[in-house]
């Protein structure tokens, strides 16, 4: 069975016209055909046996830890799954690696990339912003959705012709606690090395490279390896950035979307809202699918679904209805 780390491209015929003839898209898992299919794919139901309720207490306490792996998809999770599915594919529409334009854009990125310029290339990328209280389940939800996609896909041949490329479908980074752009770039290189088993981080030591140089190299690598989605978690840390730093980083994210064509998903707590609203003038362009505000659960249908699905996991001597 293939693992997420050694996935070899298998090309799937596409239904949507925009997605045909693009190996980046054709190598992705199929689009979920229904909400039921998405629920089944996202669900994680731990092993459970009624007989365990008769075990001694110290055994039953161990069994309860399984609930940390339990995942019941709700309407918000299905919304995120759809947003991610659209974001990745739409971002690839204007980045077809078998076209001459893809190679030309590599040179344009390296020669003309400028964090303050958002007009150079028209992109099809669409991202979104997810804001919610701490502990509501944002990170767990995005991790579960991204588990449906291989992180790296190795291409060797396409349409009968040699085509060697390692495609990075998605990457998730935590925003540095001090909102540092240099810290984000270093995290990017390290994570790319982990995914691809490369040594890019050694090539761009912080002591010998400026932030602008590292941002350009980060963008070049994102293009070279066909990065499909960049997820930045804990975006509220930008509030700790030095004067002007938060605006520069957010503008850089918009540049990735509009110039490189990489969709960006920003995740954070409500503390990030003042920054996004006051400094991120291009926020609506960076959040092409609209913002997702995740509040605490209410006593509604979602609550009922979660409670009924989880209620069977009981390790008490007497079962509670």
Report d(CA 216, CA 191) in Å as an integer: 17
Tokens representing 183 are: 């810290």
Q: Please report the pLDDT score of residue 276 as a whole number.
A: 77
Q: What is the pLDDT of residue 118?
A: 36
pLDDT at 164: 94
pLDDT attached to residue 209: 78
With beta carbons less than 8 A apart as the criterion, state whether 115 and 282 touch: no
Give, for all 321 residues of the chain, the pLDDT tens digit: 344 456 999 999 999 999 999 999 999 999 999 999 999 999 999 999 999 999 999 999 999 999 988 999 999 999 999 999 999 999 999 899 998 887 777 666 666 555 444 344 455 668 888 999 988 899 999 999 999 999 999 999 999 999 999 999 999 999 988 888 888 889 999 999 999 999 988 887 777 778 778 888 888 899 899 999 999 999 888 877 666 677 777 877 877 777 778 899 999 999 888 877 765 544 444 455 677 888 888 899 989 988 999 999 999 999 898
Give CA–CA dist 203/200, Å, rounded: 5
pLDDT at 119: 42
DSSP 256: I
Phi/psi class of residue 186: alpha, beta or left (left: φ > 0; alpha: ψ in -120 to 50)? Answer: alpha
Alpha carbon 127 to chain centroid, angstroms: 10
In whole angstroms, give the CA distance from residue 140 to residue 267: 12
């Amino acid at each position: 069975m293939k693992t997420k780390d050694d996935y070899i491209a298998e090309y799937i015929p596409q239904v949507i016209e925009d997605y045909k003839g693009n190996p980046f898209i054709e190598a992705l898992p199929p689009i979920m055909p229904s909400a039921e299919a998405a629920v089944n794919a996202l669900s994680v139901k731990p092993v459970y046996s009624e007989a365990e309720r008769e075990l001694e207490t110290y055994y039953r306490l161990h069994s309860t830890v399984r609930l940390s792996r339990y995942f019941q998809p709700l309407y918000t999770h299905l919304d995120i799954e759809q947003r991610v599915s659209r974001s990745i594919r739409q971002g690839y529409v204007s980045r077809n690696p078998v076209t001459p334009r893809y190679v030309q854009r590599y040179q344009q990125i390296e020669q003309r990339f400028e964090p303050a310029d958002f007009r150079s290339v028209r992109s099809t990328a669409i991202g979104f912003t997810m804001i919610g209280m701490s502990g509501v389940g944002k990170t767990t939800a995005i991790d579960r959705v991204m588990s449906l996609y291989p992180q790296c896909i190795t291409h060797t041949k396409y349409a009968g012709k040699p085509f060697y490329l390692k495609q990075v479908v998605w990457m998730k980074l935590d925003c540095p606690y001090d909102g540092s752009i240099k810290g984000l770039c270093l995290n990017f290189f390290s994570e790319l090395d982990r995914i691809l088993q490369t040594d890019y981080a050694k090539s761009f030591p912080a002591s010998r490279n400026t932030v602008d140089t590292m941002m350009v190299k980060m963008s070049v690598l994102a293009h070279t390896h066909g990065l499909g989605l960049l997820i930045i978690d804990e975006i509220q840390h930008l509030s700790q950035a030095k004067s002007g730093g938060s605006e520069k980083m957010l503008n850089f994210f918009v540049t990735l979307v509009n110039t490189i064509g990489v969709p960006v998903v920003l995740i954070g707590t409500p503390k990030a809202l003042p920054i996004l609203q006051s400094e991120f003038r291009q926020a609506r362009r960076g959040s092409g699918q609209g913002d997702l505000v995740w509040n605490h659960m209410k006593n509604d249908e979602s609550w009922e679904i979660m409670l009924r699905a989880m209620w069977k996991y009981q390790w008490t001597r007497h079962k509670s209805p």
